[in-house]
């Protein structure tokens, strides 16, 4: 890592995306350094998901000068996905709002799909996972605290457990970067807290870079030192999460601000930014 | 409030009843126009009622003396259906995937779909006659006939199941860096498997019925026997064979319906 300090983990440069006649992303530029945990906030429709999907190369930007790099490797440029996208994808773990697990497969198989990108095709198509790969999957499941569900069908898990399985998938992937798209938007407060702590633990213990989009500012302030705020596809703020007082949010978002502030998040008074979790806290999660 | 309630008419709009009348008119008109072509002579049933009664009497009592032979040929028929269906499933997996909108690009999908249309359009009897010429009389011609026709049917059913999947798990697999084939094996197949199994079992049922018929053009099995004894006017034996076919098909249908319920 030492010689790569100048290398951004994620670099987005002047990215544009238009859906019909609506600009979803408008000259977005952000840079995330390795080991950072950054929140992406904004009301629904502000471009958070769109931006994350562009970083993972799941969606193409408009033609133009827009460019996305991950760990110094081009993901897409000028509206074209890099031809060798599959080389960089194993480095990018994606956590979806709807978990995107295969419901009929056992949890452990879902987690093992994280290893597909590194396996030779004959082995992955035959479903032959090595013992080490299985062990890594069980380890990942124990880290997120649901090892006992390994052989259950994924569809039988609760939402919170499914999201933890999805994070375990990115752990098996060995991804250096986790992009989490509204990972807690469909979860209850208790599950939300656990999912956020698992992401924070991955960040603190493995040095995984985390970029997580959130609907509610409280979580951003609690778990992420830095926040990027989007509004109508534009970056309107990029700085310490601590500065995001309700008053400042109203300045940024006007009437939309209330949706971001009055979340279901358990409010801790007074909200203070927390730097990467201390080892005691992280250990409790793992 | 009262005004709006009373404003709702109590009979359907005139346009709809007129359209319904026209619809029925077309259906009845088409049937009337087909009367001559189909050589409809319902009174023949009554005029020749005496002949019919004599003919029907010939079927009783059924003559089961050669039941061992029939049973053997019936087994061959089941074997034809089993192989025809199995080969068709193997063929329908790639063709079904390649004709699904969410898997294959249009320049692959359209030609594959048209080919499958052709397989479906030609009845298995016609295929059987052609294969009897190509590979000779016997069950193998029947297997090939069922194989082609059923491939066309299953490919269509399989692709419809694939088009109805939830795309999100597939994207979840893609995001890990998996390749397109891995996306299909881990993201698509697990979602469609129960439906695919159910369709395949259903086609096996249908193919047991079809296999009795393709035999009549020489493609092996009980159909050959049936053809021989009908042509030889051995109606007591014909009725025995028909009873055995009915029992077999009913049993297969019941078992297969049970199995299908397990997978859905």
Two structure tokens written together for B150 = 């059923």
Distances (CA, A) of A121 to A56, A61, A85, A87, B177: 22, 30, 17, 14, 12
- 3-state SS of chain B is CHHHHHHCCCCCCHHHHHHHHHHHHHHHHHHHHCCCCCCCCCHHHHHCHHHHHHHHHCCCCCCCCCHHHHHHHHHHHHHHHHHHHHHHHHHHHHHHHHCCCCCCCHHHHHHHHHHHHHHHHCCHHHHHHHHHHHHCCCHHHHHHHHHHHHHHHHHHHHHHHHHCCCHHHHHHHHCCCCCHHHHHHHHHHHHHHHHHHHHHHHHHHHHHHHHHHHHHHCCCCHHHHHHHHHHCCCHHHHHHHHHHHHHHHHHHHHHHHHHHHHHC
Which chain B residue is nearest to residue A87, measuring alpha carbons?
Answer: B177
| Inter-chain touch A124–B168, beta carbons under 8 Å | no
Which chain A residue is nearest to residue B178, measuring alpha carbons?
Answer: A117
- Select the residue from B161, B177, B190, B194 to test the A interface by mutation, using most A Cβ atoms within 10 A: B177
- Select the residue from B169, B179, B188, B194 to test the A interface by mutation, using most A Cβ atoms within 10 A: B169
| Inter-chain touch A103–B169, beta carbons under 8 Å | yes
Q: pLDDT at position A152, please?
A: 94
Q: For residues A163 and B54, which has the higher predicted lDDT (pLDDT)? A: A163
Two structure tokens written together for A245 = 């007082």
Q: pLDDT at position A281, please?
A: 38
Query: What value does the mean pLDDT take over residues B16-20?
Result: 88
Two structure tokens written together for B94 = 């790639």
Find out whether A140 and A164 touch, Cβ atoms under 8 Å: no
Query: What value does the mean pLDDT take over residues B197-208?
Result: 92
| Inter-chain touch B168–A56, beta carbons under 8 Å | no
Instruction: Tell me the pLDDT band of B67, cut-offs 50, 70 and 90.
Output: confident
Among A229, A199, A247, A184, smallest CA distance to A46 is for A229
| Inter-chain touch A124–B185, beta carbons under 8 Å | yes
Q: Is A58 on the interface with B (CB under 8 A)?
A: yes
| Inter-chain touch A121–B172, beta carbons under 8 Å | no
Which of the residue ranges A39-48, B50-59, B154-163, B229-238 has the most confident prediction, judged by mean pLDDT?
B154-163
Helix (H) or strand (E) holding A94: strand A92-95
Q: pLDDT at position B259, please?
A: 87
Query: What value does the mean pLDDT take over residues B76-84?
Result: 93
Kindly tell me if the per-residue pLDDT of A133 is higher than 70.
yes
Q: pLDDT at position A178, please?
A: 96
Kindly tell me if the per-residue pLDDT of A274 is higher than 90.
no
Instruction: Tell me the pLDDT band of A267, cut-offs 50, 70 and 90.
Output: very low
Q: pLDDT at position B151, please?
A: 97
| Inter-chain touch A109–B174, beta carbons under 8 Å | no
Kindly tell me if the per-residue pLDDT of A284 is higher than 70.
no
| Superfamily classification of domain B67-263 | MetI-like (1.10.3720.10)
Query: What value does the mean pLDDT take over residues B89-113?
Result: 96
Q: pLDDT at position B51, please?
A: 81
Kindly tell me if the per-residue pLDDT of B222 is higher than 80.
yes
Q: pLDDT at position A166, please?
A: 96
Mean of per-residue pLDDT scores for chain B: 90
A81, β-bridge pairs:
A76
Find out whether B99 and B91 touch, Cβ atoms under 8 Å: no
For chain A, percent of residues with pLDDT exceeding 90: 68
- Complete domains list, chain A, with CATH: 34-55+83-285 (3.40.50.300)
Q: pLDDT at position A34, please?
A: 95
Find out whether B113 and B97 touch, Cβ atoms under 8 Å: no
For residues A126 and A116, what is the distance between their CA atoms, to the nearest angstrom?
Answer: 11
Query: What value does the mean pLDDT take over residues A89-99?
Result: 93
Q: pLDDT at position A278, please?
A: 38
Kindly tell me if the per-residue pLDDT of B167 is higher than 90.
yes
């Amino acid at each position: 890592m030492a010689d790569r300090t100048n290398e951004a983990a994620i670099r987005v440069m002047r990215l544009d995306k238009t859906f019909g006649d609506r600009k979803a992303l408008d000259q977005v530029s952000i840079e995330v350094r390795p080991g950072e945990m950054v929140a992406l906030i904004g009301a629904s429709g502000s471009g958070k998901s769109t931006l994350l999907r562009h970083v993972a190369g799941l969606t193409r930007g408009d033609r133009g000068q827009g460019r996305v790099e991950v760990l110094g490797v081009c993901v897409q440029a000028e509206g074209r996905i890099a031809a060798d996208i599959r080389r960089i994808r194993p480095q990018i773990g994606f956590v979806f709002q709807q978990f995107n697990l295969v419901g009929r497969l056992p949890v452990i198989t879902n987690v093992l799909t994280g290893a597909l990108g590194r396996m030779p095709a004959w082995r992955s198509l035959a479903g032959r996972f090595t013992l080490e790969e299985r062990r890594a999957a069980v380890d990942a499941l124990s880290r997120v605290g649901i090892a006992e569900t390994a052989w259950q069908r994924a569809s039988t898990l609760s939402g919170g457990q499914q999201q933890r399985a999805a994070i375990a998938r990115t752990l098996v992937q060995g991804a250096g970067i986790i992009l989490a798209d509204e990972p807690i938007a469909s979860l209850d407060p208790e599950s939300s807290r656990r999912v956020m702590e698992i992401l924070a633990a991955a960040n603190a213990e493995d040095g995984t870079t985390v970029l997580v989009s959130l609907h509610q500012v409280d979580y951003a302030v609690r778990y992420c030192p830095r926040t990027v705020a989007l509004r109508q596809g534009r970056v309107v703020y990029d700085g310490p999460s601590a500065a995001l007082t309700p008053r400042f949010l109203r300045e940024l978002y006007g009437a939309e601000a209330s949706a971001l502030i009055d979340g279901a998040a358990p409010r801790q008074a007074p909200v203070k930014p927390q730097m990467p979790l201390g080892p005691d806290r992280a250990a409790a999660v793992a | 409030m009262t005004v709006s309630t009373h404003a709702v008419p109590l009979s359907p709009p005139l346009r709809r009843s007129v359209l319904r009348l026209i619809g029925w008119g077309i259906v009845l008109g088409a049937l009337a126009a087909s009367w001559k072509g189909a050589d409809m002579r319902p009174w023949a049933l009554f005029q020749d009622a005496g002949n019919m009664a004599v003919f029907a009497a010939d079927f009783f009592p059924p003559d089961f003396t050669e039941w061992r032979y029939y049973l053997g040929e019936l087994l061959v028929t089941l074997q034809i259906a089993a192989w025809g269906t199995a080969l068709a499933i193997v063929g329908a997996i790639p063709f079904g995937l390649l004709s699904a909108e969410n898997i294959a690009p249009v320049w692959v999908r359209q030609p594959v779909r048209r080919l499958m249309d052709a397989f479906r359009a030609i009845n298995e009897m016609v295929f059987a006659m052609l294969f009897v010429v190509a590979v000779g009389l016997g069950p193998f011609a029947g297997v090939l006939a069922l194989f082609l026709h059923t491939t066309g049917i299953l490919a269509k059913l399989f692709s419809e199941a694939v088009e109805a999947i939830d795309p999100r798990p597939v994207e979840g697999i893609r995001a890990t860096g998996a390749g397109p084939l891995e996306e299909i094996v881990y993201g698509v197949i697990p979602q469609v498997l129960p439906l695919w199994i159910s369709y395949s079992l259903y086609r096996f049922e249908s193919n047991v019925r079809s296999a009795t018929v393709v035999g009549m053009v020489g493609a092996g099995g009980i159909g050959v026997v049936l053809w021989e004894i009908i042509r030889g006017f051995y109606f007591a034996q014909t009725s025995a064979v028909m009873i055995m076919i009915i029992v077999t098909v009913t049993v297969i249908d019941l078992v297969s319906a049970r199995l299908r319920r397990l997978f859905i």
